[in-house]
Amino acid sequence: MKKHLLATLLALPSLAQAQTPFTCTVKGQLGKSITAPAKIYLSRGFEIIDSAAVKNGVFELKGKGEIPVIGDLILRRNGRLGRLDGPMGDRTRIYIEPGIVTITSPDSLAHAVAKGGPNTNDYVRQGVLLEPILARMRAVGNEERKLTEAQRQAPEFRAQQQARYQALNAEMVQANYAFIKANPNSYASLDALVGMRGWDTPQYATVGPLYESMSPALKATPQGRDYGRMVQALKDVGIGQPAPAISERTPDGKTVSLSDYRGKYVLVDFWASWCGPCRAESPAMAKVYNEYKSRNFAILGVSLDTERSRDKWVKAIADDQLAWTQVSELKGFDGAAAQRYGVRGIPQNFLIGPDGKIVSVNLHGAELGNTLAKLIK
């Protein structure tokens, strides 16, 4: 008890500091040819924090906050902001944090160098770390664009491209995780960890230790608390844990429960009609299903479609010839099953054993068949 109290007391200064209001000043020097009517805008998400005219390449902006957050600097040479959800355009990213951030570039924000507080500097270092991988990704895409449509659609080429992108994706994932591990007290690491959900399906064995190593100040932020809830959910659905209950309806209104499959191996597959990677896995999954469906194995598809996309869900089942049972609450990621299983990205699946406990997680491609071959003799 005393140890926990001491740890809490030691964390208080950092927590208090994280909640102290601050002002961030952004000073920039771009090429002198950039001048009126050019303007720079500072945004936080879709909220404009400040704007300033650019005079002979010089500008200054201010932002306020209580915790460091990512901000975008956007250059509009005609002075008109336009839509924030359009093309990226001429911009760069910093952290709105206490102190001064300096931006220097000979010609644009796209080529700018940012220096400032620890989080901005960490974000810049992360970018330097990832740029060689991103450059190779762009090169793969550029090669593809030079080919004819027939060449691009050739099965052998598609398989080759998929393999190349998967290898680069894996390299990107590992580089990000290495950065997070090396910088556990940086807001840049927390943002990177949250952002990794788009690159790598979170698993407790990977993201749990990274999150737990982060400072109390990071965990206390709204984003940190939200991620912590996801980590706990992932921990609850780790290998060997009892599978959380699922009870949802099929397209024709029949209620199906996970408990109906007790005594069998069942793959609980989270997917959606709008998820390209999910549907790309369907043929391989169907092959495994047809091989093992008479050997104590079943699949329960749980769609994260919504009421608005119900018709697309039903059509996808027919188009992809999904012969196994499909259910959905039609509440997207807010559905009870998705919440209980900590699903924040798809495709994601859980192999449940005959005893109702989780045997394996995220079996994709040949992994599913290989795993079943070991379990079902």
Residue 335's CATH number: 3.40.30.10
Expressed as residue numbers, the domain containing 172 is: 119-235
Question: Within a domain: residue 14?
Answer: no
Pick from 203, 235, 267: which residue ends a domain? Answer: 235
Q: Are residues 276 and 369 in the same domain?
A: yes
Q: Please, which residues have CB within 8 angstroms of residue 215's CB and are 6 or more apart in sequence?
A: 11, 14, 184, 185
Q: Give the residue-averaged pLDDT of 157-175.
A: 92
Same domain, residue pair 112 and 132? no
Least confident of 4-8, 73-77, 121-125: 4-8
- Report the chain's terminal Cα–Cα distance, integer Å: 50
**Mean pLDDT for the stretch of residues 263-283:** 95
Query: 163 and 132 share a domain?
Result: yes
Average pLDDT score over residue span 169-177? 95
Residue 1: inside a domain: no
> Hey, which residues does 156 pair with through a beta bridge?
none
pLDDT at 7: 40
Question: Is the confidence at residue 15, as pLDDT, over 70?
Answer: no
Q: Which tokens go with 319?
A: 């188009």
Q: Is 151 helix (H, G, I), strand (E, B) or coil?
A: helix
**pLDDT mean over 136-141:** 95
Residues 6+ apart with CB under 8 A from 64: 21, 22, 23, 24, 49
Q: Is the pLDDT of residue 368 over 60?
A: yes
Q: Is residue 10 over pLDDT 50?
A: no
Total structural domains within the chain: 3
Q: Would you state the pLDDT for residue 86?
A: 63
Q: What integer pLDDT is reported at residue 13 of this predicted model? A: 39
pLDDT score at 159:
85
Spatial contact of 92 and 78, defined as CB atoms under 8 Å apart: no
Residues 217 and 262 in one domain: no
In a domain, 8, yes or no: no
Q: Which helix (H) or strand (E) holds 104?
A: strand 99-104
Q: Which of 46-55, 78-87, 253-262 has the weakest average pLDDT? A: 78-87
Instruction: State whether 201 and 316 are in the same domain.
Output: no
Residue 50 lies in a domain: yes
Let me know: does 38 contact 73? Beta carbons within 8 Å: no
